[in-house]
Structure 1
């Protein structure tokens, strides 16, 4: 009986009060605690989730995040902290993209084709948009490209057109995350990348007539 009790005691979890902590006890305080959490996440984390993780008020957490973001910029660090897609995450600074790409991808990046990029641009700027309207702009069948973008999580179905019942597509939060954007309003000006898109409505109307 004694051995059994000793074995059970050995594997029992510590009392709950022993798991509690106060970030004020850590040398780096709230800022270092946030850095520690952000270093292990692979997607943006909300202020509320971070506040819960380090047991601090959300207002204090948001203020600390802003201070970290400003501090990294002032120190010209190779990484930065961004608010993207409703949360916060560490990113390499865009100036060092060529270095990171060479190291991580080693020349074997599975890039999107030009057709995929053009299709993604049309969807991003004109969403929600149907497959037929995208095809009208590009002048080619886009079924295969749409499947590729769906499989990569860059676009998603947003419902159906009330008149034609065609599936409508739009970009995902992953799309915003990959581009380092907070929302679609942060997309760059369209004209330099896809001049024909200004004629989309006219073309689409012609395709439906």
Structure 2
């Protein structure tokens, strides 16, 4: 075929060529040949028998402009973002719990999570306020069974009553016992309240309690305990200097009986310091050590001469 005939054939083919977007859509292909039939091709002039053979088809993507594929995603992305934003604006927040009228099990949410609230326990109801007669009787009943002085705060907590109300009632009880002339009395001791027998009946009580048995402190123990009570906190060397004898054994005895206890160490020497205990106050019927009697009446008249003689 000459060059002129080839040019005429190509011109005829170009005149008869139909763009892909104007061609009729081919029928649906079978599932196994869907990928092969989905491509739309265009004729390609190359050989001498081009007119006899069906034109070679090229994909549509090759016939479309090169920048069309790049332009479509750029236009699609803003549209998709705007649609997602509009969809989120139109959507309402989901409720924490199930819809009204729908059980938590039907909503697929556990009952405890569906509630979304913490269980709040009801506050305990305040105790009813006792009358004066009931409060007086309750205090007397407790004071009869205690084995050591009990404070007003503890009594108020046990009875669930205001502490400022318990104190005046205890004062009234103590005044009533004294006015009635009972053989016992209610008084403060060691920071609390306790019932005690009256001093005028001490001989009868002693006779009943001891019943021929006498367990008393020795004279050395009494003297040592007196030095600790009036000079506390004090070291053992200071006690021995005051008494003039070694008192280590006596101190151990007083500590064992619970009348004296350690309360730290001296700054200079590092020696142990000793003081009296609440049991000491309880046994003597005192509230604080400030209620101890003064020593001046018990000192000899020639105490200054004795002090000068020892120097």
TM-score, normalised via structure 2 length: 0.54
Residue 213 (structure 2) aligns with: 108
Task: Indicate whether 1:179 and 2:298 are aligned.
Answer: no
Q: Which ranges in structure 1 are unaligned for 5 or more consecutive residues?
A: 1-16
**Helix, strand or coil at the partner of 1:39:** helix
Residue 59 (structure 1) aligns with: 164
- Give the C-alpha shift of residue 142 in structure 1: 0.5
Q: Which protein, 1 or 2, shows the higher relative CO under an 8 Å CA cutoff with sep ≥ 6?
A: 1
**Which of 31, 34, 55 is the equivalent residue of 2:139?**
34
- Give the C-alpha shift of residue 22 in structure 1: 6.0
**Which of 174, 178, 182 is the equivalent residue of 1:69?**
174
Q: Which has the larger radius of gyration?
A: 2
- Give the C-alpha shift of residue 193 in structure 1: 4.2
8 Å CA contact 1:86, 1:182 repeated in 2: yes
**Which of 166, 170, 177 is the equivalent residue of 2:271?**
166
Q: Distance in 1 between matches of 2:253 and 2:130?
A: 45
Q: Report Cα offsets for 1:143-171 as digits up to 9, x if no partner.
A: 11101100011011111111111111111
**Which of 179, 183, 189 is the equivalent residue of 1:78?**
183
Q: Distance in 2 between matches of 1:64 and 1:126?
A: 36
Q: Distance in 2 between matches of 1:81 and 1:140?
A: 40
Q: Which ranges in structure 2 are unaligned for 5 or more consecutive residues?
A: 1-123
Task: Indicate whether 1:119 and 2:230 are aligned.
Answer: no
Q: Distance in 1 between matches of 2:230 and 2:300?
A: 12
Change (3 A) 1:116 1:193: farther
- Give the C-alpha shift of residue 195 in structure 1: 5.4
Task: Indicate whether 1:144 and 2:242 are aligned.
Answer: no
Q: Distance in 2 between matches of 1:21 and 1:148?
A: 49
TM-score, normalised via structure 1 length: 0.80
- Give the C-alpha shift of residue 52 in structure 1: 1.6
Change (3 A) 1:22 1:110: same
Hey, which of these two has a bigger chunk of helix by percent?
Answer: 1
Residue-pair matches, total: 181
Change (3 A) 1:62 1:188: same
